[in-house]
Amino acid sequence: MLLTEKQKNIYFRILRYAAPYKWIIALSMFASLGVAGSDAVIAYLVKPFVDELIIAGNLALAKLIPFFVVGLAAFKGLSRYVQEYNIRTAGQQAIQDIRDQVFGHAIKLSMRFYVNHSSGSLMSRILNDVNVMQAALSDVLVAVLRDSLTLIALTGYAFYADWEMALMAFIVIPAAAWPAAAIGKKIKKFSKRGQAAMGSVTAVLEQSFSGIKVIKAFATEEQENQKFRQENASFFKFVCKTFKYSAASSPIMELLTSFGVAAVLWYGLNRVVAEEITKGELFSILAAILLMYTPLKRLTRVNNVIQQAVGAAERVFEVLDTHAEIVDAPDAIDLPHSQGYVSFDNVSFAYDDDQVLRNFSVQVESGEVIALVGPSGAGKSTFIGLLNRFYDPQQGQILIDGHDIRGLTQKSLHANLALVDQETFLFNDTIMNNIRYGQPDADFSAVEVAARQAYADEFIRQLPDGYETMIGDRGVRLSGGQRQRICIARAILRNAPILLLDEATSALDTESEAMVQQALGNLMCNRTTFVIAHRLSTIMHADRILVLDKGEIVESGNHQELLVQNGLYKRLYDVQFRDQA
């Protein structure tokens, strides 16, 4: 295998995933001895077949030939079955472990990673790239074990029978190394670019199916169809390049090996004429050499497969080698059931060079309802993200009950937080499982109570299967208000002491909003609540309203106090009131 040091390291890293299945691989290797031995026996039997049967006319031997042929074929076939089944099983198990590890690692990576990588690209790496790696752990191991042993057995017999003729056949092997290496390098290059193109294809698919309602509403089916065709054509171009170089390897090997066979024939025929060897010996050695070239050509193609696998593995290991930004501190402690005291102390945060919060400080008492308002980009959603510890601030600290959240375990932190987002994400599962997503052990009565408090029980019972109704991808079978109330029921059941509402009613009509507001009222009871709302009418009764502008608190107070100040809040209120009027 003509690999660079870096490629060898990547390939050996792939092979390490096969280590737990070494006994299955060992059984396969043992069966490979049977396959290799069968080919060597075939080459050996050519000599008596020609000398004793064809030339001498030994009829007794002729009667045994059918039994030899059938018996040898049965033995070789059984050995091949045991070898291929076990090595492919071990390879598939290793690939399953890789896919499990990549997904398990990726799901724990920080939010910044998902901002920089599309979901389609990640899906492509976990599905397509790992599938390409499968060849390195099954097809490659099959070929390397079987063909290497076969090559060794046939080479050993050829040198034992006539080392001079065998040496002539081996002259072509060094000559084949250079084109094999050059072809493999090209295959790796285009295979890696092809996998990246497949990531783009997957991304278009994921976005198209997720946004099918928007596509239908704007009648852009043809536009999306053209976009997919372009990405698919790009993928096809790189795959064809890979096919071109892969297909060239076999003809080149055929041409080079023909020189070796020609040299053996020429030299061997001269020795037969000189009566130095028999015709049977010549054909026996020639059979061994011809059989020897077959596994040699397959091993050359193995190099092409490895190059493709290495290209795919680089993309997969890139995910595995990415470290999560947000991790538990070595001495992190569990946060008990929070009292709901929250403090932002001189917090500054920037996405790369984009400063979002500047010297942000606020103290929140237990059970207080805090509303955050301000123009787009003021830092409202960033506040929610930092409190959830999706990111860490570059300056300052965030405290819950006096504990810096960086010193808490993430699991215990999020157990004390309940988020109801403007994007009502529901899983393609039953309503029951969606409500108890954060509390999987909750019984039916607890789910039912949460649904009643969220004003969702009535419409749920009208569905065909009630709480066991499958709601489709992202809850597509439900209305916007129904989806939001399911999310609120989920938050109620979680029973977290700190509640985060991020534009929870922004996408609802007036009737749905009124019902959701009632549900939110039940949810907010006896909880410290942070509300981000575009509609100021929904936060007029908040204990305190923080007005943000360019990452800073420019005003603070209740609704009436802020109107009297005649500042930014008053302007936002007047604009919204005028629009509503």
CA angle 481, 483, 489 (to 5 degrees): 100
Whole-number Cα distances in Å, 261 to 172, 267, 274, 286, 568: 10, 10, 20, 8, 90
In whole angstroms, what is the distance from residue 295 CA to residue 500 CA? 65
Q: What is the pTM of this model?
A: 0.70
DSSP 424-461: ----SSBHHHHHTSS-TT--HHHHHHHHHHTT-HHHHH
Strand pairing class (403-404; 342-351): unpaired
CB neighbour list of residue 521: distance below 8 Å, 6 or more residues apart:
none
* Alpha-carbon torsion (297, 299, 303, 308), positive or negative: positive
Per-residue pLDDT of the chain (581 residues; tens, 9 = 90+): 456 777 778 888 888 888 888 888 888 878 877 776 776 666 666 666 666 555 555 556 556 666 776 777 788 788 888 877 888 788 888 888 888 888 888 888 888 887 787 777 788 787 778 877 877 777 677 777 777 777 777 777 777 777 777 776 666 555 555 665 666 666 666 666 766 666 666 766 666 666 555 565 556 667 777 877 787 777 777 767 766 666 666 566 666 666 666 766 677 677 767 777 777 767 777 777 777 767 776 776 777 777 777 878 888 888 888 888 888 889 989 988 888 899 999 988 888 777 888 888 889 898 888 888 888 878 888 888 889 888 888 899 999 998 999 999 988 888 898 888 777 777 778 888 888 887 888 888 888 888 888 888 888 888 888 888 888 776 677 777 788 888 888 888 888 888 888 876 655 555 556 666 776 776 777 888 888 877 776 677 788 888 888 888 888 888 888 888 888 888 887 877 665 44
- 390 by Cβ neighbours in 10 Å (0-12 / 13-18 / 19+) ranks as middle
Would you call 523 helix, strand, or coil by DSSP? helix
* Alpha-carbon torsion (81, 86, 92, 98), positive or negative: negative
Q: What is the pLDDT of residues 317-356, one digit of tens each?
A: 888 888 888 888 899 899 888 888 999 999 888 887 778 8
- Both tokens assigned to 234: 């790009």
pLDDT recorded at residue 261: 66
pLDDT recorded at residue 581: 43
pLDDT recorded at residue 291: 72
pLDDT recorded at residue 537: 67
Q: What is the pLDDT of residues 3-19, one digit of tens each?
A: 677 777 888 888 888 88
Strand order, beta sheet including 544-549: 417-421, 498-502, 528-532, 369-373, 544-549, 552-557
| Measured torsion, CA atoms of residues 496, 497, 498, 500, in degrees rounded to the nearest 10 | 50
Residue 202, H or E segment:
helix 172-210
CA angle 259, 260, 262 (to 5 degrees): 65
CA angle 348, 353, 355 (to 5 degrees): 35
pLDDT recorded at residue 397: 92
Give all domains of the chain, ordered by start, each with its CATH number. 9-320 (1.20.1560.10), 331-416+501-509+532-581 (3.40.50.300)
In whole angstroms, what is the distance from residue 503 CA to residue 509 CA? 13
In whole angstroms, what is the distance from residue 41 CA to residue 153 CA? 9
Q: Token pair 């997720």 is at which residue?
A: 210
- Both tokens assigned to 439: 């509390």
In whole angstroms, what is the distance from residue 170 CA to residue 176 CA? 10
